[in-house]
Amino acid sequence: MKYIPSRDITGVCEGECKNLVRLNEEVRQTELDSYPYSGGSSPSVPWANTRNEQPGFYGGHV
């Protein structure tokens, strides 16, 4: 911690300053956008209309 870059103190960047976090977020979002996605509807299931049954009513793990 002896040396703190001046850009961290003043916000002024000298030389090469990249926002690597933002750059990688944009790359990842571009990659995700390349996959096909259907925002259509999904089939309705009758047991999802109410929540009166206790967890595990239809079996499986709780």
The amino acid at residue 29 is Q
Which three-class secondary structure string do you get for the chain? CCCCCHHHHHCCCCCCCCCHHHHHHHHHHHHHHCCCCCCCCCCCCHHHCCCCCCCCCCCCCC
The 10s digit of each residue's pLDDT in 9-45 is: 777 777 777 888 899 999 999 999 898 877 778 788 7
pTM above 0.85, yes or no: no
The amino acid at residue 28 is R
Q: Above 60 in pLDDT, residue 52? A: yes
